[in-house]
Chain A
Amino acid sequence: MVLPTITRKESVILELLSGGQEKYGLEMVEASGGELKRGTVYVTLQRLEDKQFVSSRQEARPAPEVGIPRRLYQITSLGERVFAARQAADAAFSGSLIPVGG
């Protein structure tokens, strides 16, 4: 089986969600330290949902509150496996690198 490719931004999102805790998009932007932007985070999350690495649901709101409900995101088991595999691949790759001139 071929390891699915994930971009740097997708990897950052999976890392932030890897604790198993649900998060809002804005929370992820703030926690990423500038790696994720407000304009791109939801497009990336949509892509991750398409790949089934992430699932989402609308937040439950108490009755008197109105307006657009926010969305909560959670990593799926497939997403966790892909992220773990990606981390292992990164570690193996960086460990096998020979320094220039070494």
Chain B
Amino acid sequence: MKNVTESSIRLYRWLARSFPEDFLRNHGRDMVQLSEDLIRQEAVRGGLRGFLPLLLRLLLDLIWRSVVEHAIALRQDFFYGLRMLRRTPALTILCAASLAIGIGMSTSSYQQMRTFYFQSTPGVGDASGLVRLESRTSYPNYEAFRDHSGKFSGVAAFLAPVPFLFNADAHVQRVWGHLVTPNYFDVLHARMSLGRGFRADAFHRNGSPEVIVSHRFFENQLGANRALLGHDLNLNGHAVTLAGVATDGFLGASPLGEVADLWIPLTSQSAVAPELASHPLEDRRIATFEVVGRLKPGVTMSDAEAALDALVRRLEEQNRDPGRERKGRRVTLIPGGRLIPISDRDRATASSFPIVLNGLLLWVACANVATLLLARAAGRRKEVAVRLAMGASRWRIVRQLLTESTLLSLLGAAAGFLVVHWSNSSMDWVRPVLPEYIQFHSEMDWTVVLFALAVGVGTGIVFGLAPALHATRQDIAPALKDGTALRLPGFRWFGMRNLFVLQQLSASLMLLLLAGFIMIGMQRAATPDLGFDTHHLYRMSIDPVREGYSAAAAPELLRKVLDRVRSQPGVESASLSLSAPMEPFGGAASMTRLKQDEKQTSPDKRPLGAANLVNLVEATRIGSGFFETAKIPVVAGRAFEDGNPSDANTVMVNETLAKGVYPGKNPVGQILELDDQRLEIIGVVKDLRSNFLFNLAQKRAYRPLDADTLGKPGPRGVVLMVRMDPGVVPDTLVRQAVSSLDPNLTVFDISSMDNRVADMLSVVRMTMTMYGAIGMFCLVLAVTGLAGVTAYAVAQRKHEIGIRMALGAGHRDILRLVMKEGTVLVLLGTTLGVASSLAMLRVLSGILDAIASVTSTSISDPRIVIGAPLLMAAIAMLACYLPARRSMRVDPVDALRQE
């Protein structure tokens, strides 16, 4: 029993230590004493039966009261903190504002990334269970995945994008669709709002293939007429039966890249879908199918990936695939139910830059607040000293100061929500780059609120701790006497204050430089030098094959169209091609440079994986007059000519390819191999910006547009590019020329190159404004921080300055003394900032091509590399000078009297 008693008392004493310190100091001993007395009495009086309930009551009472006392203390700290913040309104507003921007910007960036990367594909059910093949594959491969992998509850394949001509009341319209396996909707868990999904054979009773249309197509094109269900629609000149209408919002498995309003089964005849004419379902060399699958419960993406990879390797062996020896993965899976179809790894890469930038912004904002708090803590030395002298412990005061800084950052977080709100509403500026049917629901949900609160409380504690510890680490006596311990060090190297200023200066400069690199880089990218002349240049598309012309008749028609257009008054020049400048370039082709001795051997005799495999190049087909119309200079050799039979096995390359593959040599006359075709280089043209901004110069090959290609163009038809005389608009002109040849032939996707550039520039300008704002913001922050710290230093050294002046120091000497510290800090901070921003940029460029391409020219731009640090240093010195000048006004008598 005695042991039990003593153990109980020890437990009680131990738990009692959890009370707030004030309480323990005043009442702790008595409280514990009283409880001990009660425990001992009960132990003497009776056995365990009375003892245990008593102990339990005592402990409950103790714990409950401890919680209450802590709540009371916290409440006191809270109101005390509020009073303190109200006493220095300018400082409070400055801190809250910088935190608001820091927290607001990072929160809204977090929210936008979440929205952007994690939004499910609209209309798709149980999106998290879906995976997609990153690259396209062949139909036989798909069949193997479907039947033999064992990892999926369902796998669907589709061909996209596929244009259809929808003919209603003699009015023909081009509509995008997918050719799909009949289980497409089942795998995606995409519901029908009307009718039913495909039947297993996907043919209607009357023998015509079935079609399912999107909800918006049903409303806009079919007038929401339910009577049409089960009846025929006219697609590509053939009857297909309307089987169902997909649920509202569903626009296919990949609405961002390949929006669809129509879905037709892959089993339809090639008459309905010319894409099926080349028998892609049987040919394992045609890798044009996208595959989406639903994982069986419990199967992970990497499981499935490994299974599919093994399956493909086995198929390659079985079919004696010539590439079967190559190394590397055959199959990569990515999440299949997300609007932005990228792998988690790529997502992490793509979001690294915003994370770094916002992290820096938040850091600079918090560092600024910490520096200001540090300066303020100095002004409260007396208050802190009084409280310490009254017996408050250091921890008690640190807690008080932490409560204040947390309050401050919560205030900032609250104001940050305004920034988030503002940035949500201004999110509209990214709309021009996204199709209008994609709706991003950028709403604040609880994770966003939680994120902001966590950031707020976190920064409050982390960045309030240092000033709080600093403020409480002092000798009480001199602080109480309102004087300073007389120390006359020339320079304190690693005082906490200096470290704070240093890291703030360098972080701000780093941010300023990064923003500057991006801004100048974008400005360069956005300058008119796109590699071609956009003025009075127009592009439009024609697609005769899909409109009923045979592969043999289409080239002849297109040639006539071109001649007719060229002969129109007001047309300066015109050309045909598969893509216009600034558009996706066409396909990738694997290119091989031949060594001299290999020129005679045929491709299949050459060993595979030979050292002269160059890599993938972008290849497209262009007609005669392309470079002339776009005004792209030919720098060596010649361009393709109309009807020149010797052009057949030739190729033109851009400067990047020429320099990369034939350094120091004349590329004209060289032979290269493109997708197993041996071609002679006849000319070199200047580089062209492909994706406008975010793309490094690519190796490119141009091949002549022959009749074969015109007979089966891609889904986007054939591009007709026209340069007009100034002031002439091509629309009606070209339409008339085309309809004079065939009144039914449609001309679509007409746009002016100038407008395309303007659209993209508006996005660039917005981005630049944003980076500019970030740069300005951190400049202001750095300056206020430095000014605050210098003012604090002057105040702290008032006494020292007084003595120096009494001993005969002049105003200039004093100014020099104060400025010396600031100058060293500014120089050090600037150097550190430049070095770390260059290092950071190198890292980021390694991760992100976009950063590399945008900053490739600006990284050496003297305006930034020298200008930004100079500007920063100049302003920082000014921020030092203004408070330092105050030091000259110190009255030595006054300063000394304080002792």
B is bound to A: no
Contacts from A to B (Cβ < 8 Å): none
